[in-house]
Amino acid sequence: MSKPIQKLVDNLPTNNLTVSMLRSLDFVIPGQWQNVTGFENTIRVVTGETDEGLIQQIGERAIYLYNDRSQGYQRAMWLYQTVDSTDVALGTAALANKIGERVPLLGFLNRLTPKADKAQTIDLSLKLVAELVAFCYINGIPGDSIGDFVASLADYSSESLMRMVALVCVDGLIPLGPDFILKAQSVLNDTNPKELEKNATFQRISDVIPGVTSLNKLLFIGESFDSVKGWMSGLVSSRNLTPQKVVNNLQQTIEVADDKLDYLAAFLDVATNYYEHTGTQTLARRLIERAVAEI
Amino acid sequence: MIFPNARRILVAFLLSMLLFVTACQPQASSRFDQVQETSSQQKSGQAVANATQGSSFNPFFPAASRGYERVYTQEKKGFAEAKLKKDGKDLALMAISDTRSLPTAAAKFKNTTKQIVGYPAVEIGNTQTAVLVADRYQVKVLSRDASFTASDREALLKQFDYQGLAKLQ
């Protein structure tokens, strides 16, 4: 049995490396994301209600909805967690999380290997597909509705928008460079189903990616990437985003040398879980919005 | 870096202390423990019994007009929801739900004297106004911006297609 939703939201950290990283990306979408934590607090923030009796009713309904597996919320949560699961065995990284202070990167370098462009591209596009599928689970839209998802990206706000911004910055611009969209697309075109099957994240989430064979799934991944690239390049150009700009802002949190960007990407991969963090917030918000409308 | 082993031991020691200390803390009971237990006794189907599909509610929402935008957001069994937006800002949420999934939602209309377009209506909390149609479907408008007042909610509630909704089985 997975963890109760109220515990997941209660346990969201108020300050760790993930939170600091997301805060340092605030310059992309100023004031959009607040780190809302705690189940009851989230109910108050999302609904604007203050009556304790109402908060109790909303919370109870949200918990009922989450625990009913036919509603798809648990699957969405699982996706956010799985796509982000990182090697937390790095004891020092765990301690760094606890402390939430500036982290000098140098100490980690000898334990990390930057991912190859292909692995990084697969990682980026799998996160994108996970977002799409989770969106469909949460909002009740059929699982292969790329069109519905792309249309609603324009309406993304708060933690959902921050998740996509972090995806573009941390899994796109930093590891793959300023032309990451073109690069990722050409790498994807050059990837065969066998290579995809070797990817650990794909092995875990392949069941929820539309398509019967690995080839079908690979084509769906390519199609999803293709549909979202317009949105991503719009974000990059409208905010004038460059790897350098992102790193300059991240340097408030992490001390890193400019020629070590590949290592920075690898470090953020192991030491942060922004997908799970903001995914939990998105899910809680949608559950609470439904619960308050139903009671 | 002079005593790598000593540092490793220190990290291991600190981590095990962390585990030890957190394990000893008693778990505080929460106001949601009871509902967590009852709601997780069944794996599936406990939240939405015999309800109408959310997609069949969509045609009864008010159409967008005069600079207002309507964005559908959730569509689940027994539930559909849309946002009312203007100039990119969320003003309100509109929702239709089937109270077969949650009979207590219908019960709150029993003693109300308020009516909107002839249907029993209630105001709830600071942000919500609701109508019950055909003793079954709840239509709710929830303010999401301070500028959207109770009378705005009532005006918006008058624009739903209740006759169509009442005929839904």
Q: Count Cβ neighbours within 10 Å for each residue of A229-264 and write b for 16 or more, e otherwise.
A: beebeebbeeeebebeebbebbeebbebeeebbbbb
Query: What is the tally of structural domains in chain A?
Result: 1
- The band of A264, judged by pLDDT with boundaries at 50, 70 and 90, is confident
For residue B25, is it within any domain?
Answer: no
Cα–Cα distance list, A207 to A130, A132, A217, B1, B120 (Å) = 11, 14, 9, 45, 46
pLDDT confidence of residue A172: 96
Counting every residue, how long is chain B? 169
Q: What is the pLDDT of residues B115-138, one digit of tens each?
A: 999 999 999 998 999 999 999 999
For residue B74, is it within any domain?
Answer: yes
**Tokens standing for residue A37:** 């934590």
Q: How far is B125 from chain A (nearest CA, A)?
A: 6
- How far is the first Cα of chain A from the last one, in angstroms, to the nearest whole number? 26
Q: What is the pLDDT of residues B28-42, one digit of tens each?
A: 678 999 999 999 998
Residue range(s) defining the domain that contains residue A32: 5-294
Which pTM was predicted? Answer: 0.90
Q: What is the pLDDT of residues A127-173, one digit of tens each?
A: 999 999 999 999 987 666 888 889 889 889 999 999 999 999 999 99
Query: What is the tally of structural domains in chain B?
Result: 1
**Tokens standing for residue A133:** 């599928």
Q: How far is B16 from chain A (nearest CA, A)?
A: 11
pLDDT confidence of residue A91: 47
Query: Does the structure show a pLDDT above 70 at A92?
Result: no
For residue B151, is it within any domain?
Answer: yes
Q: Which residues pair with B90 in a beta bridge?
A: B85
Instruction: Give the Cα separation of A137 and A212 in Å (integer).
Output: 19
ipTM over 0.85: yes
For residue B42, is it within any domain?
Answer: no
Q: Do B36 and A67 touch (CB under 8 A)?
A: yes
Q: Do A59 and B31 touch (CB under 8 A)?
A: yes
Q: Which residues pair with B138 in a beta bridge?
A: B97, B132
| DSSP type of residue A170 | I
Instruction: Give the Cα separation of A197 and B69 in Å (integer).
Output: 43
Residues 3-22 of A with CB under 8 A from B: 4, 6
For residue B128, is it within any domain?
Answer: yes
For residue B72, is it within any domain?
Answer: yes
Residue range(s) defining the domain that contains residue B73: 47-166
**Tokens standing for residue A270:** 């192991």
**Backbone angles phi and psi of B141, in degrees to 5:** -120, 130
Please check whether residue A214 is in contact with residue A196, taking contact to mean a CB–CB distance below 8 angstroms. yes
